Amino acid sequence: MALIPPKTPPGIMELLPRQQVAFQRLLDTIRTGFERFGFLPVETPVFESVDVLLTKSGGETEKQIYFVQSTGARQQNRDPELALRFDLTIPLARYVAEHEHDLAFPFRRYQIQRVYRGERNQKGRFREFYQCDIDVIGKDTLPLAYDAEMPAVIYHIFSELKIGGFRINFNNRKVLIGLLSGLDIADAERQKLVLREIDKLDKVGRDKVIETLTGGEIALLPDIAARILDLIGLNGSNAEILAALEAMPIADPVFRAGVTELRTVLDGLAAFGVPDTHYGINLAIARGLDYYTGTVYETFLTDFPGIGSVCSGGRYDNLASHYTRSTLPGVGISIGATRLFYQLSEAGLFKAETGTSQVLVTQLVPALTADYFLIASQLRQAGINTELQLEPAKIARQLKYADRAGIPLAVLLGEDELARHTVTVKDLRDGTQHTIARDVLAAALSALLAPRAAP
Amino acid sequence: MALIPPKTPPGIMELLPRQQVAFQRLLDTIRTGFERFGFLPVETPVFESVDVLLTKSGGETEKQIYFVQSTGARQQNRDPELALRFDLTIPLARYVAEHEHDLAFPFRRYQIQRVYRGERNQKGRFREFYQCDIDVIGKDTLPLAYDAEMPAVIYHIFSELKIGGFRINFNNRKVLIGLLSGLDIADAERQKLVLREIDKLDKVGRDKVIETLTGGEIALLPDIAARILDLIGLNGSNAEILAALEAMPIADPVFRAGVTELRTVLDGLAAFGVPDTHYGINLAIARGLDYYTGTVYETFLTDFPGIGSVCSGGRYDNLASHYTRSTLPGVGISIGATRLFYQLSEAGLFKAETGTSQVLVTQLVPALTADYFLIASQLRQAGINTELQLEPAKIARQLKYADRAGIPLAVLLGEDELARHTVTVKDLRDGTQHTIARDVLAAALSALLAPRAAP
């Protein structure tokens, strides 16, 4: 029989078990952080109706959709009715609109699921990847204080992840929009084009941005373009930037509202106890998505600047206008866990973790099998993740297996140990060996497994 | 603008947040149990290549496939290259074959992911549902002792789930196959037909099974059919059934091997300390899937017999013959978590849980906002899941929200409490109220949140 090549579909990050353990810990840390702030879990189906998913006409997104069709529907030659979600925002909007009367508002939800994009296949871009989202959704209104809570969540989680320094940059789109209006750039479409260029500042540099702003489609006067870039390039402490903004002779009410919102968020961050080493106003953050209407966030790892933003989000005026007439303002952030894991692994930061097993009970003497079973059961009852070696292999091979599988401790019991009511424990991390009485085995192994204090 | 109806696709179990918390606890208990026995996590992509997925020609499964196609592929009018996984067994086979040289054998993996079947839409049948699988895969051989470990895992997890009594029934297909050979029913296809009928015994009863066995396609002599049913209906303790099997005048070597395997598994279960109230030989279990070759399991909830088997599995000779020439025998079990949750919810067993938040910090006096932020941060740092009310609503409405969201404790701080360095804590579970000093708040709340001893 010809073999079928066993291949993961292209564009997928499939992990070996010990990498999966490390990735799982990343997701667990994120989830624990979300729950610490009282967010409630939601899971939505992997596919949505095409009608629900494709509310916008055209656009980049629609070119990357995965359509889904059952065998029966295909045979009837119908157009697909389902498609895989490409983000968690549209499913959230549909979920809140559908279940509106069963939810308590402000509704705080977290969602950690995979999303799908039919991207061109290239290194570091994935067709299936995890997003870890939180959003707070209000009914009619949502106080600005929630905008200050988002960076507090980011600070908590990225501190727990222990992947080095990070900085949360934030801005307010009203400041930018109001600035443009104040400079007589009033047309909304033209404003969007300008914001899109501003977002590229970090990548392409000031000169290139000025060139685009003053050229072709946008055609700003050079003086106006320079004033915009001067403002968004404002430097200094948060208090200094805020003071400079407040002193600006721009009367536009949207601009003033944006500055006030920035100050409120800044005050909130201090009240939450987030250290100001870890956040700052960055007026160059525009976030291309038209969908954001106020505060916007981006988070950078200071040790890995090349990775780009690892957690972004912002405030929006109305989540679900396509599905309900209720006004549902919200604020949210998203961590792209697959990409984060991939890039930190490439940078050598996520090593393959030890496996899930903490102890391997080896098999030395087949006649003692019942004892091995019993020891394993006792350790499991004591809460120790225990694997039982049931292959009658040479002990050296069993220990090699434990080492390869990332199991730190091996328990050995032969006739000698049996007579003395002891076992031998090999610590595969440092090669040490211990003789331990059977009746205190679980406690002794727990002690060996406890995290060691730094010397 | 016309609204798009916000509807979950049909055949999906989508949960409200507090139900989702309960479901998440179910999955967490299963996962913790799998890890306790040293199984390693694996996740595979939601879709596989059609080539990989559809190795078998025809059959029920292929009629229920969901095909997946990107916008680009659809435009080129190509046949779909991808399809959603309909179980976790084929992805496991592909995974082990693809990564064979990077895995340590015996390879113990758990996988908790959703699978997809384009089933007809009917109550209690889902098109998307969780499977929670473990398998141990050997290279060339796998000792029978692993077959005894599976029920030990089932026993551990179903004890932890606390959903009442359960019983693990097991059998060995060799006993049945050998019995049929011993009765001169040697043709493999005919044997499968007989086993498929035996599997229906519980549902349709003895008379109906005999009718089918002696009728049309199978056409056994009435005497033979009766002998088969007498044997599989053997009653008594495990030791008695085993003794009866051993005493039978059937020389067929497959039969004898099956009986020996049954005894080995039984001895193993005792050595693992699984109480014999929770398992038993049931010779009527055949498991329709041709794929199993030895031990087979089914698990029933004794308080909910109508639910049917909630955890099934068995031993197979070769996992991945479609993808590799290596021989990979294995044994595994699967818990259908979505169906289990749905049915136990219908039976009233899974109530909506309290939310993820343990404490709501309310907002009484807007001027004290910074204090509310600080209290919330302190509680979170102490590991208490804390939600902060930032809407300036009436206190009665805030407490109603907490109650609706399932938050057990509310913290109130007004000018009086501020002056006295205290807070008022309302326990929404029993309506009691406590005055607590601010500097011991986290400890006091932890004490209130600790599970109460039964009276």
Which residues have a Cβ under 8 Å from the Cβ of A337 and sit 6 or more positions away? A23, A26, A27, A30, A112, A129, A130, A131, A132
Alpha carbon of residue B327 to chain centroid: 27
Length of chain A in residues, anyone? 455
Sheet with strand B359-361: strands edge to edge:
B386-388, B359-361, B409-412, B422-427, B433-437
Q: What is the model's pLDDT at position B454?
A: 45
Band of pLDDT at residue B73, cut at 50, 70 and 90 = confident
Q: Is the pLDDT of residue A282 over 60?
A: yes
**Are the beta carbons of A107 and A96 closer than 8 angstroms?**
yes
A162: closest CA of chain B, how far (Å): 16
Q: How many helices (H) does chain B have, and how many strands (E)? A: 18, 16
The fraction of chain B above a pLDDT of 90, given in percent, is 72
Question: Could you give the CA distance from residue A53 to residue A87 in angstroms, rounded to a whole number?
Answer: 10
Q: Is the pLDDT of residue B455 over 50?
A: no
**Are the beta carbons of B326 and B139 closer than 8 angstroms?**
yes
Question: Could you give the CA distance from residue A287 to residue A307 in angstroms, rounded to a whole number?
Answer: 17
Residue A18 in contact with partner chain B when CB distance is under 8 A: yes
Residue A5 in contact with partner chain B when CB distance is under 8 A: yes
Q: Which residue has the tokens 């730190």?
A: A408
Angle between helices B173-182 and B222-232 (to 10 degrees): 150
Which residues have a Cβ under 8 Å from the Cβ of A338 and sit 6 or more positions away? A13, A114, A126, A128, A129, A130
Q: Is the pLDDT of residue A444 over 90?
A: yes
**Are the beta carbons of B286 and B176 closer than 8 angstroms?**
yes
What integer is the mean pLDDT of B11-33? 95
The fraction of chain B above a pLDDT of 70, given in percent, is 96
**Are the beta carbons of B302 and B165 closer than 8 angstroms?**
yes
Q: State the average pLDDT for chain B.
A: 91
Residue B32 in contact with partner chain A when CB distance is under 8 A: no
Band of pLDDT at residue B56, cut at 50, 70 and 90 = low
A6, β-bridge pairs: none
Residue B64 in contact with partner chain A when CB distance is under 8 A: yes
Q: Is the pLDDT of residue A415 over 90?
A: yes
Residue B201, CB half-sphere, CA atoms under 13 Å: how many?
A: 21
Question: Could you give the CA distance from residue A401 to residue A391 in angstroms, rounded to a whole number?
Answer: 11
Residues B153-188: tens digit of each pLDDT: 999 999 999 999 999 999 999 999 999 998 888 888
Residues A249-266: tens digit of each pLDDT: 899 999 999 999 999 999
**Are the beta carbons of A17 and B42 closer than 8 angstroms?**
yes
What DSSP character marks residue A435?
E
Put simply, the answer to whether B42 touches A20 (Cβ < 8 Å) is: yes
Residues 234-273 of B with CB under 8 A from A: 267-268, 271-273
The fraction of chain A above a pLDDT of 70, given in percent, is 96
Q: What is the model's pLDDT at position A59?
A: 58
How many CB pairs (< 8 A) connect A and B? 302
What integer is the mean pLDDT of B396-421? 93
Higher pLDDT, B350 or A94: A94
Band of pLDDT at residue B54, cut at 50, 70 and 90 = confident
Q: Is the pLDDT of residue B288 over 90?
A: no
Q: Is the pLDDT of residue A452 over 70?
A: no
What DSSP character marks residue A100?
G
Question: Could you give the CA distance from residue A326 to residue A100 in angstroms, rounded to a whole number?
Answer: 9
Query: Which residue type sits at B412?
Result: L
* CA angle centred on B248, ends B242 and B253, rounded to 5°: 90
Q: What is the model's pLDDT at position B397?
A: 92
Residues B91-149: tens digit of each pLDDT: 999 999 999 999 999 999 999 999 999 877 788 789 999 999 999 999 999 999 999 99
Phi, psi of B339, rounded to the nearest 5 degrees: -65, -45
Gyration radius of chain A over CA positions: 28
Residues A88-126: tens digit of each pLDDT: 999 999 999 999 999 989 999 999 999 999 877 788 789
Cα torsion B221, B223, B226, B227: sign: negative
Residues B359-405: tens digit of each pLDDT: 999 999 989 988 999 999 999 999 999 999 988 789 999 999 898 88
Residue A153 in contact with partner chain B when CB distance is under 8 A: no
Question: Which of B76, B380, B389, B411 is the best residue to mutate to test the A interface, defined by the most A CB atoms within 10 Å of its own CB?
Answer: B380
The verdict on whether omega for the bond into residue B91 sits within 30 degrees of 0, i.e. cis, is no
**pTM for the model:** 0.94
Question: Could you give the CA distance from residue B167 to residue A117 in angstroms, rounded to a whole number?
Answer: 44
Kind and range of the H or E element at B287? none
Residues A2-11: tens digit of each pLDDT: 899 999 999 9
Residues A323-370: tens digit of each pLDDT: 999 999 999 999 999 999 999 998 888 776 677 899 999 999 989 988
A412: closest CA of chain B, how far (Å): 17
**Are the beta carbons of B100 and B50 closer than 8 angstroms?**
no
Q: What is the model's pLDDT at position A60?
A: 63
CB atoms within 10 A of CB A281: 23
Alpha carbon of residue B437 to chain centroid: 45
CB atoms within 10 A of CB B354: 16
Q: A71-80: which pairs have CB atoms within 8 A and are 24 or more residues apart?
A: A71/B62, A71/B63, A71/B64, A71/B65, A71/B67, A71/B118, A72/B63, A72/B118, A73/B118, A74/B67, A74/B80, A79/A50, A80/A50, A80/B69, A80/B74
Q: What is the model's pLDDT at position A77?
A: 82
A-chain CB neighbours of B272 within 8 Å are: 373-374, 376-377
Q: What is the model's pLDDT at position B198?
A: 87
At A214, list the tokens.
């003053």
The DSSP line for B320-389 is -TTT-SS---EEEEEE-HHHHHHHHHHTT-SPPPP-S-SEEE--S-GGGHHHHHHHHHHHHHTT--EEE-
Residues B193-246: tens digit of each pLDDT: 898 888 888 888 889 999 999 988 888 899 999 999 988 888 899 999 999 999
A-chain CB neighbours of B413 within 8 Å are: none
What's the distance, Cα to Cα, between the start and end of chain B in Å? 59
Q: What is the model's pLDDT at position A455?
A: 44
At A318, list the tokens.
């109305």
Query: Of B41, B93, B268, which is closest to A24 when you measure between CB atoms?
Result: B41
A-chain CB neighbours of B38 within 8 Å are: 355-357, 360, 385-388, 407
Query: Of B37, B104, B268, which is closest to A373 when you measure between CB atoms?
Result: B268
At A177, list the tokens.
């929009």
The DSSP line for A346-388 is HTT-SPPPP-S-SEEE--S-GGGHHHHHHHHHHHHHTT--EEE
Sheet with strand A107-116: strands edge to edge:
A40-41, A107-116, A128-137, A330-335, A311-316, A295-301, A166-172, A279-281
Question: Which of B373, B379, B386, B389 is the best residue to mutate to test the A interface, defined by the most A CB atoms within 10 Å of its own CB?
Answer: B373
ipTM of the predicted assembly exceeds 0.85: yes
The fraction of chain A above a pLDDT of 90, given in percent, is 72
Question: Could you give the CA distance from residue B369 to residue B187 in angstroms, rounded to a whole number?
Answer: 80
Band of pLDDT at residue B305, cut at 50, 70 and 90 = confident
Residues A177-226: tens digit of each pLDDT: 999 998 888 888 888 889 888 888 888 888 999 999 998 888 888 999 99
Question: Could you give the CA distance from residue A27 to residue B158 in angstroms, rounded to a whole number?
Answer: 26
At A238, list the tokens.
């948060």
B-chain CB neighbours of A93 within 8 Å are: 6
CB atoms within 10 A of CB B427: 14
Q: Is A170 helix (H, G, I), strand (E, B) or coil?
A: strand
Q: Is A67 helix (H, G, I), strand (E, B) or coil?
A: strand
Q: What is the model's pLDDT at position B302?
A: 94
Put simply, the answer to whether A4 touches B55 (Cβ < 8 Å) is: yes
B-chain CB neighbours of A404 within 8 Å are: 104
